[in-house]
Amino acid sequence: MFRAAAVAVTTALALVAAPTAHAEAAPTLPAFVPYPSAWTPDYSLFPYNLWQIRVTPEQVAAQRDACQWFNAQYGDLAGQVHGFENFLAGAGDDWSAPGVQQTADVVTANLKQSAAFLDPRVHTLYITNYPDQSQYSPLYNGDSFYHLWYQYTQIADKIGQELPSGQIHANVVTADVYGNVIRESGICNGA
């Protein structure tokens, strides 16, 4: 029985690691440390070309750091989230099935670590518009980072509540939308 549980955990971790770019990589993501670069935001699009005067150096640094994280870890983390969601669904959403909780713990730790890194940065990317008090990002796709961060907090929360894979799925596909917007826009190229 212990051997069967060990095989299940190994299989679960392989499923989580399989979608990542580096199958041999450890399932726990290393803490990301941003570094200086010559990256600059894209101001070529309307209305961001007009909002450029509202952008602070802190916002540029926040988006650069978020882009560096995205380039380094987004693909691996998204693969782990999808792998876990599929593993849980394959286990019939049975949280007591062998390997499910151990895999959930690894994925949740990675989600929380990434969300903690992004949290201060995504909140820096928003400014309040007066007089209507609406919030927006003066940087192209700065809002997409905010929404990606939010979805990751929700996925971690739902995994922590041991909800069925179908309920986690809504946040997973929404996170995919924002991740794809960021990747396809090219805003993180060269970060």
pTM of the model: 0.84
Residue with the bigger pLDDT between 109 and 27: it is: 109
Contact 62, 124 (CB under 8 A): yes
d(CA 13, CA 8): 9
Kindly tell me if the per-residue pLDDT of 133 is higher than 90: no
pLDDT per residue as tens digits for the range 138-160: 999 999 999 999 999 999 999 99
pLDDT per residue as tens digits for the range 62-118: 999 999 999 999 999 999 999 999 999 999 999 999 999 999 999 999 999 999 999
Q: What is the per-residue pLDDT for 136?
A: 87
Contact 124, 59 (CB under 8 A): yes
> Concatenated DSSP letters for 113-170?
HHHHHHHHHHHHT-EEETTTTEEE-SSTTHHHHHHHHHHHHHHHHHHHTT--HHHHHH
d(CA 3, CA 173): 35
Bridge partners of residue 127, in order along the sequence = 136
